[in-house]
Amino acid sequence: MFEKVRVRFAPSPTGYLHVGGARTALYNYLFARQKKGEFILRIEDTDEERSTEESLRGMIEDLKWLGLPWNEGPHPETLKDVGPFGPYRQSQRQHIYKQVAEELISQGKAYYCFMTDEEIEAQKEKQKAEGRPHAHLESPFADLSLVEAQKRKTAGDKATVRFKTKNLKKDYVLKDLIRGEVKFPSDMVGDFVLLRSDGMPVYNFCCVVDDHLMKMSHVLRAEEHLPNTLRQMMIYEGMGWQLPHFGHVSLVLDEDRQKLSKRRGAVACGQFKDEGYLPEAILNFVALLGWSHPEEKEIISLEEMIKTFSVERLNPSGAVFDRVKLKWMNAQHLRQKPNAELWALVNPFLVKSGVLVNQEAKWTSQALDVFKPKMEVLTDAIELFRPLSDEAFQVFPESKEVLSQPTAKGALTAWKSGLEGIGKDIMTEEDFLKIQDSVAAGAQVKGKNLFQPIRVAVIGKPQGTEVKILVPLLKVSSLISRAEKVLKEIG
């Protein structure tokens, strides 16, 4: 029996944090928090060519952004190990894997194999020619004595370490937490590599060693790891170690029900962050890709997920990543935010885009009351707020036709005159409608000859946000200045 629940998220730092990886991390985090257990971050960086420090830092930043803190692993700021079972990077644990491999060798459960890549390939071609294309490797070194093997190693011959499977003639049965009973015939695999000739461990070996030594009680991981389980069960058995509880979650699929990939657009958490999605919306969305709330709720906070999560409600079937629903869900979370909190998230996007607006709390709250219902992602604010930025104001080319109309100059002159006579710094929607009526009467215009020149004088183009909701957010002096710029365009 395991003393307590311990689970891990073990990414490879060879790229970005994929939304599928974020879902795996979330499920492990929820399970640990609900069971009062521990959530561990382990870095599987034995792929020396592809693993990078930049990728590791990016993944850690994404996990921090999502709000999924871990109990043990690299410190989120310094990357130094925190916890009693380190190192938490597999590249720093090679001495441990070597020790376990030697123990298996000494027990006759593994052996040094001196076959070259050319010999292995030649054997495969021979088996294929004999009509045995799926035959397993037959190593002539499986029964070589340890003494002889050591002599060859001392002489400089390179060897892999292989796990010996020929005596394991039985079916292995996994009681998967999500898929139920899964059977693996032992003849599915031949003698498999534990350590490469350069001493680096393969995934299945170091994964088992680390999960055991780090006292993992449960392993919740993606369905694509299911084929690895037989090899791992053999290693657990070979070492006499207790098997953790396994659960293999469904794949995340695209609209064509294929495994989600970059081919269909953003799949990286960092990209969703840049596009203005909220971390709580991403978590809410990916949680429901394979799990359902007991009351079938769709908008759920992280706190509620922790309370209601259970592996029993994880679905083994693939879940389709619906980008339209993600955007809808983001909008729901966005609109629940208090204006002050939302402004702190929106403003950096505005500043980055050169949309500089009033920063007074009263004004920003008033503006968000107007625009929040129109926003689905934070970046929507850029174009919504752009008309309110004096620095961003310009007369767009599409205004040329409107301004060329014979009645345009008269309408705009009357509009400017009405603004100058209002006697207020800020006008109300009612004030605007009164001025608009006076322009219609004084300049003898109506319809688009009335509305379009005024819209150009406010936002620089004849189509866009309804003017009456914008003018209460703009100073009258700003509106006058804009009207003057437009009149200069007419000449």
Render 260-329 in DSSP notation, one character per residue: --GGGS--BHHHHHHTT--HHHHHHHHHTSSB--TT--SS--HHHHHHH--GGGB-SS-EE--HHHHHHH
Give the pairing of strands 110-113 and 81-82. unpaired
Q: How many CB atoms lie within 10 A of CB 4?
A: 11
List Cα–Cα distances, 462 to 158, 338, 389, 415, 456, in angstroms. Answer: 76, 33, 17, 15, 5
What the block records as the tokens of 71 is 């109990």
Which of 372, 374, 378, 389 lies closest to 349, judged by CA?
378
Spatial distance between the Cα atoms of 417 and 30, rounded to a whole number of angstroms: 63
Marked catalytic residue, from 262, 352, 400, 446: 262
What the block records as the tokens of 180 is 């139920």
How many residues in total does the chain contain?
491
List Cα–Cα distances, 386 to 301, 353, 486, in angstroms. Answer: 32, 9, 17
Q: What does the DSSP 8-state code read for residue 188?
A: G
Q: Which residues pair with 262 in a beta bridge?
A: none
Residue 475: is it exposed, middle or buried by C-beta count within 10 angstroms (0-12/13-18/19+)? middle
In the chain, the amino acid numbered 3 is E
Q: Which residues pair with 246 in a beta bridge?
A: 219
Q: How many CB atoms lie within 10 A of CB 130?
A: 9
In the residue annotation, 262 being an active-site residue is answered as yes
List Cα–Cα distances, 378 to 66, 273, 274, in angstroms. Answer: 16, 9, 9
What contacts 256, CB < 8 A, 6 or more positions away?
264
Task: Report the catalytic residues.
Answer: 262
